[in-house]
Amino acid sequence: MTEVLKFKDFTSDDVFLKSSPLTSEEKGMIMKSYEESGTFLRLDDIVPYDNNPRLNEDAVDGVAKSIRNYGFQQTIVVDKDYTIIVGHTRRLACIKLGLAIVPVAIARCLSPEQVKAYRLDDNKTAELSNWDFAKLKDEIDDLSNIDYDLDSLAFGKAELERILGEDDEEDDVGDEKDEEPDGIEMPEPSFVVMVECLDEADQERTFNALKQEGYKCRLSTL
């Protein structure tokens, strides 16, 4: 029988498997975050949803890195039968980190229909937001100025260099404009965004959605 646990019911020795790659400092951070959670389950008692439509594997390392750095700040959400509603990637990250007990939220108030809808909505809404790159650059600059380890962020090295180098690129463009010869009409700039899709069907959906928004699009397979 599955046992729902409280923080007082276990110790750190119960939480971390002997094979866990976590350092003592990382384990301490995770245990501090556990103090703020109310409900826990053993990871073996949490059931992945067998028809989960999201492909999570590429995000596992990033989520594991986040748990290492900040502890467990987002719980896995399960239904009354302890099947995952939200948190499949987090479960895989926990396996990678050698965690045996994890914080959960048990959504007993949701009907089966609401569980199914919430599972889809939570994944979809994450796709709807965009970055304000000027503010993003300011935030990363602030971290850099206090010597925070930027490599610990989920951004890749090339992505960080691109974000932090945007001002330089704008200055270069400005210099080039200043050097344009008199009497020569320069072509209007073209701004391009490349979207990497999961498969051909996803490519078609994305293409049609962007066309409906009024963007000029063309398909390409790399």
pTM: 0.71
> Which span out of 14-18, 149-153, 170-174 was modeled with the highest average pLDDT?
14-18
Q: Are 105 and 78 spatial neighbours (Cβ–Cβ below 8 Å)?
A: yes
What would the mean pLDDT of 138-150 be, rounded to a whole number? 93
**Boundaries of every domain in the chain:** 7-125, 130-164
Angle at the Cα of 77 (from 74 to 80), degrees rounded to 5?
155
Helices (H) and strands (E) in the chain, counts: 9, 4
Name the more confident of 179 and 32.
32
CA terminus-to-terminus distance, the chain: 50
pLDDT at 196 over 80: no
CATH of 7-125, picked from 1.10.3720.10, 3.90.1530.10, 3.40.50.12780, 3.30.70.270, is 3.90.1530.10
Q: What pLDDT does residue 28 have? A: 97
User: 9 is written with which tokens?
Assistant: 């019911």
